[in-house]
Amino acid sequence: MLSFKERRQFRDKNQLEKTLNQTESKTRLPISYGSIISTVALLISAVSAYFANFYHHRSLHFEVAPSPPDTEVDFGVTTAQIDYTLVFWNNGTRPEVVLRTEIYIEEQFGGFRTYDPEGPFVIGPGDAISVPITGSLSFLNRLDNNKLDPEMKAGKVFVHVIALSPNGSEFGSVVPTITFSAQADSDPGASSPTVTLVMDKSKDYPRGPVDLVHGVSENAPPD
């Protein structure tokens, strides 16, 4: 049996523990489900504002179609038209501007030719467009068929794409597509020469899409 003094000490100890528990329960702040949802919504809103106003992902690609054949031989050049379709797609978060697309021809011994460009185009985020472009090798019909030294010409065909950076400067990409050689057949009795045209796919022709622009920036998009 406990003495009076021991019983009193035991009772005082129980009273102290009860008082401490009540104080702790009063100072504990309740956390509601609604406050958690509000905090998460605020975080999502802040992250969305950051990506909308400060984070820019630029990703613009294009591809030249159809792929040129490995080798093509024409006996007698008529129009010798070159037709390509450029397919652009924008995987970035901001619109991109393509100023112009064109075919140009570089002759082996100097000189070059360009054809009517297509553009400009604005390609929005997630959008894709196709742009047909045309050139011609018909100037090869005018080769001289001198029987002692039939004229020969060679050169390269390129696709040229020019885009606009956010600061207003131009940048671009050059895609080699084919090389060509043409020679007038020596035939003194013919009123006009027969031209043999050989076209080969360029060894530098890209096997897949071309990255026209690709980058990530905070506060200001990259050039």
Domain residue ranges of the chain, discontinuous segments joined by +: 56-212
Pairwise CA distance, residues 151 & 119, whole Å: 36
Within 13 Å and on the Cβ side, how many CA atoms surround 185?
A: 14
pLDDT digits (tens), the chain, 223 positions: 545 455 555 455 566 556 555 555 555 555 666 677 776 676 666 555 555 555 578 899 999 998 888 888 776 665 678 899 999 999 988 899 999 999 999 988 777 888 889 989 999 999 999 999 999 887 777 666 555 455 678 899 999 999 988 778 888 899 999 999 887 776 656 666 677 888 899 999 998 899 988 664 433 333 3
**156: buried, middle or exposed (CB in 10 Å: 19+, 13-18, 0-12)?**
middle
Tokens of 126: 């997630």
Residues 6+ apart with CB under 8 A from 53: none
The 3-class secondary structure across 178-221, one letter per residue, is EEEEEEECCCCCCCCCCEEEEEEECCCCCCCCEEEEEEEEECCC
CA distance linking residue 99 with residue 164, whole number of Å: 7
Number of H helices, E strands in the chain: 2, 11
DSSP 3-state percent helix, strand, coil across the chain (nearest 5)? 20, 45, 35
Report pLDDT for 30: 59
How far is the C-alpha of 223 from the C-alpha of 221, rounded, in Å?
7
Q: 22 pairs with which residues across the strands?
A: none
Q: Which residue type does 123 have?
A: I
The reply to whether omega before 120 is within 30° of 0 (cis) is: yes
Fold of 56-212: Immunoglobulin-like (2.60.40)
pTM for the whole structure:
0.66
Which residue is associated with the tokens 């999502």? 44
Locus of tokens 């080699």: 176
Encoded tokens for 130: 């196709």
Map residue 59 onto helix, strand or coil. strand
Residue 204: what pLDDT? 93
Q: What angle do CA 109, 115, 119 make, to 5 degrees?
A: 140
